[in-house]
Amino acid sequence: MSYNNHYKLQQKDMFLMTVIFRNIFESIARPNNLLFTSFMIYLGLADYEIGYIISFIALTNVLQIFSPILYERFKSPKKVVLLTRSLRLVFFYLLLAVPFLHNYRFVILLLIIATSASFNALMGATFVAWNDCIIPKERKGRYFSNMNVIFNATAILASLFFGKVLDCYKHTTKLFMIIFSLSIIFAVLEILLTCKLEDNTLSTNGRLSLKEFITIPLKDSSYRGFIIFSLLWMFAVSFATPFFKLYAIRYIKLSYGYIAIVGSITSVFKIIMAKPWGAGVDRFGYKNIMKYTGICFAVTHFLWIFISAGGQIIYFIFIFLNGIFVIGFNISKFNINLSLSNNEHRLAYMGVNAAIMAIFSFVSTNISTLIIQYTDMSWSLFGIDIFQLLFIFAGFLYLLALAYILRKDI
């Protein structure tokens, strides 16, 4: 093996290690995960307040539109990533003070988390484009499937650990402070490892005005169709997904440990399926894999009809099937995004797509949150409560999005 190839392999592995540490940190810091959901419940937040927090965090992704502008300022993806990730971490740890506040907890937590997430959004597609520089085109399907394996492997350990802790220990301010403080280890490791990555100059066309930045992707008819699909899909995702864990904890009364075990079993099979899905993308094409995995993923949402009849079993089946199919879908969708985006303006393409998805995610979550806020929780339709109806409706929205994109030549 030549020195150059060996060095590229080292860089690839280092990127993956960075992803591991980042994913462990985000398994603690991501607002719709098991741990953070339990933290918000502990703080006394209502269902709709949790929904609003998640929606505003989604809205921060609009800032990805400024990511290429930030890159052009520094001309260094490493500097952009280090700056934005460091600020993300610093603002996140301000939440350690929230349990000690007795007034305006919701507003203060919202401001802290949204500000922290904003810096994450400013990093935008810079890290992805930076990573993409070192991966040969013919290996992208396998490489990003390996990345999914990494995501799910770390998710297994984190989910089992936190599920056990949340079930075995009384939820106190001290408990959450210890957990959040431990996450600093992984945050520091991520930053240190990022410092060791080789900086690359991304392929861009120099400085673009904000108008040019927005209009270039929108004028590309192929990518414009992908943007429409992305916003439809994200609308469906944001309409229901933020409430899955909340519903399981507060209304189905599932234990944290059970939720963690279900998530871990699913993650194991997602790891097993990631490479076959990635190889399938390389062999059969993005569109074919997207079609079958997307339809199956959408249909799983109709299982929520039966959740009250056998909560634990139906929840397990839903999470398991949902996870198996979504990993194949995401690998396909990610590769389609890369293939349709003009290499010279890739940051603009991804930034505009992310910004539009953020707006629709914000609108979607707020619609479902308003429905929850103003609906009596004792209300039901043929024995189906309001949360179940939202989850089922999301399944129809997914099918609508797929019907649109499958008609396109991609």
Model pLDDT, residue 235: 93
Please report whether residue 70 resides in a domain. Answer: yes
Judge contact between 287 and 226, C-beta under 8 A. no
* Nearest residue to 324 (alpha-carbon basis) of 392, 261, 271: 271
Q: What is the DSSP letter of 377?
A: T
Tell me the two tokens of residue 243: 């409430």
- What crossing angle do the helices spanning 77-92 and 105-123 adopt, rounded to 10°? 170
Read out DSSP for 97-112? GGGG--SSHHHHHHHH
Range of the domain at 187: 3-199+209-405
CATH code where residue 25 lies: 1.20.1250.20
The torsion of the CA quartet 208, 212, 213, 218, rounded to 10 degrees, works out to -160
In a domain, 190, yes or no: yes
Count: domains in the chain: 1
Residue 253 belongs to a domain: yes
Find out whether 203 and 346 touch, Cβ atoms under 8 Å.
yes
- How does pLDDT run along the chain (410 residues), one tens digit per residue? 555 666 666 777 788 788 888 888 888 888 778 888 899 999 999 988 998 998 888 888 888 778 777 877 888 888 888 999 999 999 999 999 999 988 889 999 999 999 998 998 888 777 777 777 766 666 666 666 677 677 767 777 877 888 888 888 889 999 999 999 888 999 999 999 988 888 877 665 556 677 777 888 888 888 888 899 999 999 999 999 889 988 988 888 888 889 888 988 888 888 788 788 888 887 888 888 899 999 999 999 999 988 875 678 899 999 999 999 998 898 888 888 877 876 667 777 877 888 888 889 899 999 999 999 999 878 888 788 999 999 999 999 999 999 998 887 76
| 91: Cα within 13 Å, side-chain hemisphere | 19
Is residue 410 a part of any domain in this protein?
Answer: no
Judge contact between 27 and 187, C-beta under 8 A. no
Question: CB-based contacts of 2: which residues, under 8 Å, 6+ apart?
Answer: none
> Does a structural domain hold residue 134?
yes
Quick check: is 350 in a domain? yes
Query: Which residues partner with 384 through β-bridges?
Result: 381
Residue 204 inside a domain? The answer is no
pLDDT, residue 251, reads 87
